[in-house]
Structure 1
């Protein structure tokens, strides 16, 4: 049975400020780096055979925390990047609602946003393809960890499982440095084994010295 771990990156200052990141290359903050270490200490117990990450720093640096414990190198795949949010990127959702009210209303309803925001279908397809290629790196019965982003993780997993958008909306947003576990065997294909798994508590960020 192949196991695929789809892991969201750690916290960033834009996460903390409620800003839309999309494909803007925002780095981890102190909390995010600690979250990556805490999560890696759990994921290393799964003995991953391969680690693949989005090339955006917040995901790549999250994966690096696990690589440091396993001794494995990290492969990078642009298809694992977050959804492209176009003109929304850099704005808070309050600002998005004011600047793009029609698009924001469609987003809240789970519909295609339009404009220059990447479509749900395009995002799901490219992410599912990247996940399948990552899974192929594992030997039979092996484990692959993929470090990626929240929106694209949920959409890509849903596409891989063949879920309708209505089903996918029943899943809560993936928390920073939490992950989805998928398994695959010849009889059942891909199955969701666990969702939003991660460290039980967040360590406080130490004050600057």
Structure 2
């Protein structure tokens, strides 16, 4: 029995453009993000989903809501799919974090598994939370296909879970806003089937360039 998951990073926010760490701070979609969310809704419309889940942060929920309207489904909250809490780095760019908190930033740069950045989540704790949440969705929807909207950090963890890449290894893959990422779970474990499919966003991306 195979369970299929399409997991989408939320649409663009102004903080994404500024490369500012959002974490648990609720930042709304910008104009491009809203257009991406609408394009994603049309991009997934030809699939049959048993359910739609979303992180409870506004940028993810707004993205999921656009798809829910198109698919005729209700968005179900999945707090376990929230972005990582980055503690003292939330609201800062990486450059600002390096200047203001150099010792903490050194741990951030090497992906220290157990450093929580003050009152945030360590990478190890965050990864465990994400895996528990996704495993729960798979158990609840065994043999079905579901859509979930989440965040870049969450997708980083799921990508590593499906490919066997260690948590501490540098990230060498992109996680675009509103790309479609398809995973499968069966008796042999997690599998990555499609990563960063952005075909449905081509017109939106062209308009941004223009």
Give, in whole Å, the separation in 1 of the partners of 2:158 and 2:32: 26
SS class of match (1:204): helix
> Unpaired runs of 5+ in structure 2?
none
Specify the alignment match of 2:4 in structure 1.
Answer: 3
SS of 2:134 mapped into structure 1:
helix
1:124 aligns with 2:127: yes
Would the aligned equivalents of 1:23 and 1:56 in 2 still touch at CA under 8 Å? yes
- Conserved in 2, the CA contact under 8 Å of 1:51 and 1:63? yes
Q: How far does residue 200 in structure 1 lie from its aligned partner after superposition? A: 4.8
Q: How many residues align?
A: 202
**Residue 139 of structure 2 corresponds to residue 136 of structure 1:** yes
SS of structure 2 residue aligned to 1:111: coil
> How far apart are 1:106 and its partner, in Å?
2.2
Report deviation, 1:30: 0.9
**More displaced, 44-53 or 110-119?**
110-119
Distance 1:33 1:203, change over 3 A: farther
- 1:50-83: per-residue Cα shift (whole Å, max 9, x none)? 1000000000010011101110001002111100
Could you list the per-position Cα deviations for residues 115-172 of structure 1 after superposition, in whole angstroms to 9, with x for gaps in the alignment? 32311111111111111222234352x21111000012211442466542255x3541
TM-score, length of structure 2 as denominator length: 0.87
User: Contact between 1:120 and 1:155, CA under 8 Å: does it hold in 2?
Assistant: no
Q: How does 1:101-112 map to 2 (within 5 A)?
A: 101-112=102-113
1:195 — aligned with what?
195
Q: Would you say the 8 A contact 1:150–1:173 is kept in 2?
A: no
Gaps of 5+ in 1: none
- 1:43 deviates by 1.6
Question: Quick check: 1:124–1:158 contact (8 Å CA) kept in 2?
Answer: no
Aligned to 2:167: 165
1:45 aligns to what SS in structure 2?
Answer: coil
With normalisation by structure 1, the TM-score equals 0.88
In structure 1, how many angstroms separate the alpha carbons of the residues matched to 2:163 and 2:136? 15
- Seen in structure 2, the aligned counterparts of structure 1 residues 179 and 107 have a Cα distance that, compared at 3 Å, is farther
State the match for 1:176 in structure 2: 177
- Do 1:25 and 1:56's aligned partners in 2 also have CA atoms closer than 8 Å? yes
1:25 CA drift (Å): 0.6
Which of structure 1's runs of 4+ aligned residues deviate more than 6 A? none
